[in-house]
């Protein structure tokens, strides 16, 4: 039996390099950059006005006041998308809109509020400094500057930045491909008629949702009975980067997942982790494919997914390997009275100072889905470890859409 940290280290050592693809911008949203992006052009691309007002030459203004305004001859207009073709000479000004090109000769913009038009002239009643309200070409970034780093997630702001510099395609990591294989002769689909001795298959629904939330692509999901050959065949027919099996991974006579994986050429990487729940967790590898054998208990399966599978899915999709976490203070005593590290299901809240609190539910049984559904995360307490009220603890969140916390 290995420790939680040892299991994580083995997983990290076996992450296959994530697949990449050149992708149109719209499809790249939600994915992670596989390349550094350098600016193909500067921003702003041309020197322009930050205000609606007048483009002028600073040297013409003197120190204007409302009583003694500077008077300039209005010679034209520069509008957004319709620049002024000429040059602003001594004593001249052009009307200018926000974002419009600053005409040659002008070096300063006077906002409309500090001006008044009178016949062919514009009167300037205030000016602060040369270059005011001018956005210089390249002042945000120059051509060749690093805009976005490899590994960054593309959301609306990053997509906009790429679009603004004319990049229609970027190289991103492809989402990991995941297959689900649920084992158990006692299982029936949720909607089916159920006999007294049967169990509704909740793992299928739960893990489909969890995989989807994690951003991976679910390529197949199937159910198989506790039959040696059927399990061998089912694994043999499954192709994915991550195969998630549930059930049949313990020491029972009808547990076939480990043997079936190895009959298909998988090499075991570990079996059994010193933890509660989820002790029988199994991992094997064949080439680029990693196969997890999660315990059948829905709570155990979920906790193993959250702590082991989800960060791997992230890494396979180009994200950092890790967990979304926060630090919270125990709202009351939380104790692990057992002899194994315990992943205790908890619920977080807020205290008056805006910090997080955490409390654990009464019912922690690994068959009790309410312990998951009523909570939003888990804490890991060592054997015999107990937290007094107010003690801080790291909480791992169940929200698989959230980025891992950087540490």
Q: How far is CA 385 from CA 251, 318, 351, in A?
A: 29, 35, 24
278 binds Mg ion (CB under 5 A): no
The whole-angstrom separation of Cα 352 and Cα 355 is 7
249's tokens: 């991974």
Q: In terms of CB distance, is 18 or 295 closer to Mg ion? A: 295
Report what 295 binds from ligand AMP, Mg ion, none; CB cut-off 5-8 Å by kind.
ligand AMP
Per CB under 5 A, which of residues 230..259 are in contact with Mg ion?
Answer: 247-248
Residues that bind ligand AMP (CB under 6 A): 182, 184, 186-187, 199, 201-203, 246-248, 250, 252, 295-298
CB of 258 to ligand AMP, least distance (A): 12
Taking alpha carbons only, the member of 266, 316, 329, 319 closest to residue 292 is: 266
Report what 263 binds from ligand AMP, Mg ion, none; CB cut-off 5-8 Å by kind.
none
CA-CA-CA-CA torsion sign (346, 349, 352, 353): positive
Neighbours of 256 (CB within 10 A): 26
The whole-angstrom separation of Cα 278 and Cα 274 is 9
Q: In terms of CB distance, is 108 or 183 closer to Mg ion? A: 183
Q: In terms of CB distance, is 42 or 295 closer to Mg ion? A: 295
CB of 334 to ligand AMP, least distance (A): 26
Question: Which residue's C-beta sits nearest to ligand AMP?
Answer: 296
CB of 300 to ligand AMP, least distance (A): 8
CA-CA-CA-CA torsion sign (298, 301, 306, 309): negative
Report what 375 binds from Mg ion, ligand AMP, none; CB cut-off 5-8 Å by kind.
none
The whole-angstrom separation of Cα 211 and Cα 170 is 25
Q: In terms of CB distance, is 252 or 392 closer to ligand AMP? A: 252
The SS3 assignment for 63 reads coil
Q: In terms of CB distance, is 69 or 280 closer to ligand AMP? A: 280
Q: How far is CA 122 from CA 79, 106, 236, 352, in A?
A: 17, 15, 81, 57
Cα atoms in the Cβ-side hemisphere of radius 13 Å centred on 203: 31
Q: Give the containing element (helix H, strand E) for 197.
A: none
CB of 366 to ligand AMP, least distance (A): 8
296 binds Mg ion (CB under 5 A): yes
| Span interacting with Mg ion, options 2-10, 84-92, 181-189, 340-348, rule CB under 5 A | 181-189
Strand partners, 135: 48
| Span interacting with Mg ion, options 23-31, 60-68, 288-296, 346-354, rule CB under 5 A | 288-296
Question: Which residue's C-beta sits nearest to Mg ion?
Answer: 247
Report what 246 binds from Mg ion, ligand AMP, none; CB cut-off 5-8 Å by kind.
ligand AMP
Instruction: Provide the H-helix boundaries in 264-385.
Output: 298-304, 310-316, 370-373
Report what 336 binds from ligand AMP, Mg ion, none; CB cut-off 5-8 Å by kind.
none
Q: In terms of CB distance, is 225 or 359 closer to Mg ion? A: 225
Q: In terms of CB distance, is 43 or 203 closer to ligand AMP? A: 203
Instruction: Confirm if 107 and 84 have CB atoms less than 8 A apart.
Output: no
Taking alpha carbons only, the member of 31, 348, 376 closest to residue 174 is: 31
Site for Mg ion, rule CB under 5 A:
184, 247-248, 296
């Amino acid at each position: 039996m290995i420790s939680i940290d040892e299991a994580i280290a083995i997983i990290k050592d076996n992450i296959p390099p994530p697949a990449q693809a050149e992708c149109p911008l719209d499809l790249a949203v939600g994915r992670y950059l596989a390349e550094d992006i350098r600016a193909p052009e500067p921003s702003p691309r041309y020197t322009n006005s930050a205000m609606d007002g007048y483009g002028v030459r600073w040297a013409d203004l003197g120190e204007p006041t409302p009583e003694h305004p500077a008077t300039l001859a209005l010679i034209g207009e520069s509008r957004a998308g319709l620049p002024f073709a000429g040059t602003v000479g001594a004593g001249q000004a052009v009307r200018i809109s926000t974002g419009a090109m600053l005409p040659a000769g002008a070096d300063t913009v006077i906002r409309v509020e500090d001006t008044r038009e009178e016949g062919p002239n514009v009167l300037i009643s205030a000016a602060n400094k040369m270059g005011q309200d001018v956005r210089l070409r390249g002042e945000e970034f120059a051509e060749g500057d690093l805009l976005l780093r490899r590994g960054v997630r593309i959301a609306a702001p990053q997509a906009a930045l790429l679009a603004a510099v004319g990049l229609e395609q970027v190289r991103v990591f492809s989402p990991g491909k995941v297959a689900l294989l649920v084992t158990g002769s006692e299982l029936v689909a949720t909607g089916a008629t159920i006999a007294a001795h049967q169990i509704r298959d909740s793992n299928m629904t739960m893990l489909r949702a969890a995989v989807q939330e994690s951003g991976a692509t679910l390529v197949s999901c199937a159910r198989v009975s506790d039959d040696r050959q059927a399990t061998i065949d089912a694994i043999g027919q499954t192709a994915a980067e991550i195969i998630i099996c549930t059930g049949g991974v313990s020491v029972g006579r009808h547990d076939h997942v480990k043997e079936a994986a190895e009959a298909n050429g998988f090499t075991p990487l570990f079996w059994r982790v010193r933890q509660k729940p989820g002790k029988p967790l199994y991992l094997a590898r064949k080439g680029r494919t990693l196969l997890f054998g999660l315990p059948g208990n829905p709570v155990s399966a979920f906790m193993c997914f959250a702590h082991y599978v989800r960060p791997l899915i992230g890494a396979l999709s180009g994200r950092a390997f890790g967990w979304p976490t926060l630090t919270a203070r125990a709202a009351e005593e939380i104790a692990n009275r057992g002899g194994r590290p315990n992943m205790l299901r908890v619920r977080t809240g807020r205290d008056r100072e805006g910090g997080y609190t955490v409390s654990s539910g009464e019912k922690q049984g690994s068959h009790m889905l309410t312990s998951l559904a009523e909570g939003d995360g888990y804490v890991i307490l060592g054997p015999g470890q107990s937290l007094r009220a107010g003690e801080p603890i790291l909480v791992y969140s169940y929200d698989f859409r959230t980025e891992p916390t950087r540490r």
